[in-house]
Amino acid sequence: MAAALARFLGIGGNKPPAPNSADTVVRMHHVDDTQSFRDICMHVTFRFDQPLDVDMMEAALGRLLGRPGWKKLGARVRLNKSGHLEYHIPQSYTPTRPAFQLTRATHAVPIGLHPIAARLPRGGSDSLSVSPHAGLFRSFLVPASTPTDLTHWLFEDRPQLALHFNSFKDATLITLTFMHTMLDGLGIGALLEAWSAELEGKPVKEFVGYDVDPLISMSEPVPATDPRKAHAEEYVLKDREIRGLGMLRVAANLVLEPLMHPAEEDRVIVIPPTVFAKMKARALSDLASADKASIVPDAADPSKPFLSDGDVLAAWYNSLVFRSEPWSRSAKPSKSVLLMNVFNTRQLIGTTEPVLIPPTSAYTSNATVFMNSLFTLQEITALPLGQVANRVRRDLVAQSTRAQVEAQQRLIWKTTKEAGHSPLFGESDVAFVVFTNWTKAKMFEMDFGAAVVGSSEGEKKRAVPSYVHPDATIKGVVGSRNAAVCMGKDSQGNWFLHGTLRKKTWENVIKAIANETF
């Protein structure tokens, strides 16, 4: 621990390489440079059921990261004297200072015969299924040479992005490794979309946010003399923010949880399209007799309730998890439960005034807030699925206006400045799940057919991911327990949900899924 701290501070250990005077130095955006993102190194793998030409893929990505704006993604990361992260962007990339790190492994077998790769989650079943512990795949998908900690970037002349290709006779696995300071879910999607366009020779979207932080105005306090002050709202849950001794209790519980119960697992739930159709139908039927005033109406038919697929998935997963927690039966029914649904702000701030990110551009940095839904333990475990989903939908509608997103951003700024952490809502006994949905990133639609091995000139083949596998290396005691990612659905309609839970909780989840009916 002491050695790692010394390295991070640049004392008594490794030091960053001498600055290159030709590099362009740009401060990292304020939303990206947070302690939580500094602690998270992402490893996201895409499975293609075709052999892809790695050389073509490498060349296309090299061309993309040589473009104006896009070259920022190959920057080196440094810590300045003020303690802020900044990008050092080379004028051009060369073999000695590449735009990305690339490694490859070739396997002379079909993927179905590989002892590890064959066990990656797949659709095709008619019932709910749960994958093996994802730790099984880590060393295979993420080779030892891959950076996994911010210090691996700070003290080496290393590009932000590392790629590893596993090539089989009939398939390709591409793993992207990067710090969360670089990309969020839709940022990954923007990168893949541009990479695919470059590969096919199509127009590439303009990169936004090269040397300007477009979101800073949303977070800074509004001065008293600013005309916007009269219309600035307070965040709807401001009065439910946990502070002082209450937050100390929350922090203590977060630290004690993995210490007292260290065994945890990452697994993936696969939801077939037929099962999800029944799940959503049940959720909507649960609202048939509900008070109309409490329901969000469907814009196409206001006489009917509206629930998105994401509302239903978030409600089902979270209810399932809290029913499966070993402590849930002995806890007070009034215990506070918080569902923190990650909301991407790109569309909102691209279609409302003032426009901060043009909707036709590519913005790869983090651009999210939470849509917070508060329940009691009794509510989240006993309410019908549709009522939980409806609460999630109502909270999203209330909190996703431009005024409310800006109010939450200002509160995050204020609490972080005063207390050193982002705000949390509920009571001091709160248990929470962070739920991220990558569906809008359209990762399962990214087509790399132009790189399929054996394609003849002019022949158009389609190669989209059949599976997306999220993983992360996380520093600190708290880690990613109770975090969940919905990766989206494949071309056959199978949904994939990845979760990190206590080992015992997963055992209970698997038992519950075996008995789940819709």
Q: How large is the average pLDDT for residues 67-92? A: 97
Whether residue 153 lies inside any domain: the answer is no
| Band of residue 499 on the pLDDT scale cut at 50, 70, 90 | very high
What is the mean predicted confidence (pLDDT) over 59-72?
98
Residues 310-334: pLDDT tens digits? Answer: 999 999 999 999 999 999 999 999 9
Higher pLDDT, 376 or 294: 376
Residue 324 lies in a domain: yes
Average pLDDT value for residue range 411-431: 95
Per-residue pLDDT, 310: 98
Q: What's residue 459's pLDDT? A: 74
Number of domains in the chain: 1
Residues 6+ apart with CB under 8 A from 240: 374, 425, 426
What is the mean pLDDT of the segment spanning 199-214? 97
**Residues 423-445 pLDDT 10s:** 999 999 999 999 999 999 999 99
Asked if the structure places residue 115 within a domain, the reply is no
Report how far Cα 497 is from the mean position of its chain's Cα atoms.
Answer: 12
In this prediction, residues 240-263 reach a mean pLDDT of 95
Report pLDDT for 229: 64
* 226 confidence band (pLDDT: 50, 70, 90): confident
What percentage of the chain reaches a pLDDT higher than 70? 96
- Of the pLDDT bands very low, low, confident and very high (cuts 50, 70, 90), residue 401 is very high
pLDDT at position 244 over 90? yes
- Here the tokens at position 98 are 């590449």
Residue 450 lies in a domain: yes
- CATH number at 469 reads 3.30.559.10
Instruction: Transcribe 107-169 into DSSP letters.
Output: -SS-GGGSTTGGGS-----SS-EEPPPGGGTHHHHS-TTS--SHHHHHTTT--S-EEEEEE-S
Does residue 494 belong to any structural domain of this protein? yes
Is residue 326 assigned to a domain?
yes
Q: Is the dihedral of CA 174, 180, 185, 188 positive or negative?
A: negative
Residue 300 carries which side chain, given as an amino acid letter?
A: A
What's the domain range around 439? 223-514
Looking at residue 6, its pLDDT comes to 46
Residue 216 scores a pLDDT above 60: yes
Write the pLDDT tens digit of every residue in 253-290. 999 999 999 999 999 999 999 999 999 999 999 999 88
Segment 382-401 shows an average pLDDT of 98
Q: Is residue 469 part of a domain?
A: yes
**Does 9 score more than 50 pLDDT?**
no
